[in-house]
Copies of this chain bind each other. A is one copy, B any other.
Amino acid sequence: MDPIKSETHAFQDYYPENYAHCYGCGRLNDHGLKIKSYWDGDESVCHFMPRSYHTGGYPNLMYGGLIASLIDCHAAGTASAAKAKADGIDLETHPLERFVTASLKVDYLSPTPIDVPVEVRAKVREISGRKVWLDATLLAKGTVCAKGEVLMIQIPDKAKN
């Protein structure tokens, strides 16, 4: 059973408070992007509307660093959610485990417009112990603008103290 009530809660809503300040996805970071990720079948999805100042090299295109950030944070949330599902964790009594990025590769395939919402999708390729490999895509108006390959590593218990 999927412990995340994804009809009403995003993955990031389950992060413990001390892990909810990430600039990209922390619900408690008022300056941040506060991205929200949800299950969509066996993939995950996040929708994000760039701000007008999130421009890239061209003024009508989206900033590449933001694309990398969205893929990174969405993959982190997906890794957490997937691990919880795989381990059968009861989120009423156990917080969502947090992951850190070990490796992030982004291929920029097509210019991404700044004036439409983008969709980031991720799929878990493999879970092995504390490691989760994911593939991600970022789409705008149905076009795949970027692809990502991400390796996430679960924060060990002793590192949390």
Contact = CB atoms under 8 A, between A and B. Distances in A.
Interface in A49-93: 51, 53-59, 63-66, 68-70, 72-73, 76
A133 interface: no
A22 B56 contact: yes
Contact of A59 (B21, B24, B55): B21
Nearest to A109: B102
In the complex, which range does the number of interface residues on chain A fall in? 35 or more
A48 interface: no
A95 interface: no
A29 interface: yes
Interface string A112-155: 00000000000000000000000000000000000000000001
Nearest to A108: B101
A55 B105 contact: no
Given A21-B59, A22-B56, A57-B155, 19 more contacts: A19-B57, A19-B58, A23-B53, A23-B54, A23-B55, A26-B55, A30-B53, A32-B53, A56-B100, A57-B76, A64-B100, A65-B66, A65-B69, A65-B70, A65-B73, A68-B69, A103-B105, A104-B108, A105-B106
